[in-house]
Chain A
Amino acid sequence: MRRSSIINAPITRRRALRAGAAAAILAGAGLPRRSRAAEQELNILVWCDHTDAALLQPFEEAHNVRINVKDYQETGAALAVLEQSQPGDWDVFVVDSVDVRRVAEQGLLAPLDDVQLPWDSIFPELHAPELHKIDGKTYAVPEKFGYNSIAFDKSKVEEAEVRRADIMWNPKYKGRIAVYDYYIPAMEMVALGMGIRPDQITAEKLPAIREKLLEIKPLASVIGDVPTVQNALVTGAADIIIAGGEFVVAGLAQENPNLDWVLPDSGGIRWMQGVGIFEASQKKELAAELVKYIVGPDGQARLATASCYWAMPTNQQAALGDAEKQRLRWNEQPGFIKNSYPYFIPDETLNKAMLEVWTEFLQA
């Protein structure tokens, strides 16, 4: 079952974000950041937000190290990269929290020293030892999280309306709705709107969820990846994005202050990523320093506002400014965390059934 959660793990929002961030990557991490020779190198396998030069450069300069970055789009792709690598090629791994145990059980991750990690500053609800620990040993520390909720243009939609999940079926917004095309959180959002918790989704409940999902299609103007739904919101093709969230709009809010997001009162889906060290790394001490930096106050602020996508830092001490916190709805986090559900990764059979329903939705 766990294996299927990785092999079949559908790609996350970041796959699509990668396309939108390509220019930023080229402008930043994709190009040599420093001219002077570094004494040593670290190789990191990460999501695209970690390719931001603004995040890596301070660490490189402080430790006289060059960080070589490889970003990937889904856990399966990362495992494929690892299969083609030699042990020791990679030092640091950023991975979806739901996949940490499986990766650790394959012997790929080294235990982390809890003493070195700022657990006291990390939102207690995000510790999730069932995801990050095996037999009391920590294999990854949560570093960033966010929500599949609803993003919207507040010049056209009242926030009070967005807080009601039934906005997804409100005929008033016919032709004004974009749907983020990652089917698991999107369908889990629909389920939540029906009063079904994500972990309560079963094959038996799928027909009812399918029916409600198909009701959205005539109202939708766009179904697409992150750049596509962002584009729809910015160009006026849509007023709300179902299954969008801070990762879609927070980075755009400076140019488009009307773009916002909120968790509906019925709840949303919470995603989280962790950072760990490869067991085969030959530079574990330096890798541990990088992990400490990333989950420290400065690194957390830079990671939260990385050019690829913004999202909440797990460390409550993250050195974010007021405006940045506002965009991330920092003050509402306790309520949001309480009212959101971790990604529920279905088993292979249910996953295929959900994808079949989603394919039907796309074709409807």
Chain B
Amino acid sequence: MRTIAGLPMTTRAAPRLLAWAPAPAVIWTALFFILPLLAMALVSLTRRERGQTVDLWTFANYGTFLTQGGGVFLEALRNSIEVTLIVTVLSVLVAYPIAYVLAYRVPARWQRVLLVLLVLPFWTSYVIRSYSWLLVLSEKGIISLALQGLGLADGPVGLGNTRGATVLGFVHFFAMLLTLTIYANLVQIRESYRRAAADLGASPLQVFLRITMPLSLPGVAVGAFLTFVLAIGDYVTPQILGGSRELLLPQAIMLQVGRTADFPLASAMSMVLMAVVTLAYLLFARHLRMDRV
């Protein structure tokens, strides 16, 4: 067996160079994720009055989060988790059939075209997309007009400025994302597995339930996790489509930042959000196989 010591100098240097390959990513993560996160954690343990830091190492902001206004922030957290779970489940339900049809029913030459069409809405700013949904869902929008035209509604129907509108806006966005991750996973499943199951007498439903679905779970898990993380931290969609009829946690955080510049309280609330995301990661971790997507 050849050893590294026996190799020419340049070849021996290669592993050392390779060892440094992740360095840019590590530096990037440290600079733009770990350090800001530590700074946020530190700020969350301070208290400010009249623009000056008056306390260090206090949990007062976490206490405020738990108790203010009879638990108004806790309710915002609950709303956020509810909306995010609904969005994640609906997005999976919408995305999976699309990805399945794309992967197994559409000829290979059309798959690329359909994938491009699928991501087309990504090319529009999601702020514009949210306002567009608001117009579609308004009393003068196409849905209201269609319902009236079909005789299903007596008068204008306004569907915007509700939780349902927020969910719809989210699902429109995340179903596309999930379709991509699930599709990428489905096309990696060897055709021979499904064919072998069929040869052994499995019905198409059994092939799906016993072979395809279990093997596609990593793609579903990655997409669902991304959906969860992105949706629970999103401020713009609920702000535009929800009409502030209820408060989600990112909106509550923005109130502290934008209205009173209370960065310590906003940081504490953000750390709580971070804890929820971490918890979600731990729940999803078993199925998160990035190499499969």
Contacts and interface: CB of A to CB of B under 8 A. Distances in A.
Contacts of A351: 260
Given A231-B134, A237-B160, A355 B243 contact: no
A152 interface: no
A39 to B, nearest CB: 37
Nearest to B160: A237
A11 B257 CA distance: 10
Contacts of B206: none
A11 B260 CA distance: 9
B109 interface: no
A1 B50 CA distance: 7
A215 interface: no
A236 B69 CA distance: 33
B69 A235 contact: no
B199 to A, nearest CB: 58
A236 B258 contact: no
B72 interface: yes
B244 interface: yes
A205 interface: no
Contact of A235 (B72, B141, B251, B255): B141
Contact of B261 (A8, A225, A237): A8
Contacts of A199: none
B158 A221 contact: yes
A220 B243 CA distance: 10
Interface in A315-364: 348, 351-352, 355-356, 358-360, 362-363
B154 to A, nearest CB: 15
Interface string B126-157: 01000100110011110000000000000010
Given A222-B161, A227-B131, A236-B158, A362 B260 contact: no
A296 B259 CA distance: 33
Contacts of B244: 181, 222-224, 228, 362
Given A8-B261, A231-B131, A237-B160, A363 B68 contact: no
A254 interface: no
Interface of A: 1, 3-4, 6-8, 10-11, 15, 19, 74, 76, 181, 183, 220-225, 227-228, 231-232, 235-237, 348, 351-352, 355-356, 358-360, 362-363
Interface of B: 49-51, 68-70, 72-73, 75-76, 127, 131, 134-135, 138-141, 156, 158, 160-161, 239-240, 243-247, 251-252, 255, 258-262
Given A1-B50, A15-B258, 7 more contacts: A10-B260, A11-B258, A223-B245, A224-B161, A235-B139, A355-B255, A356-B69
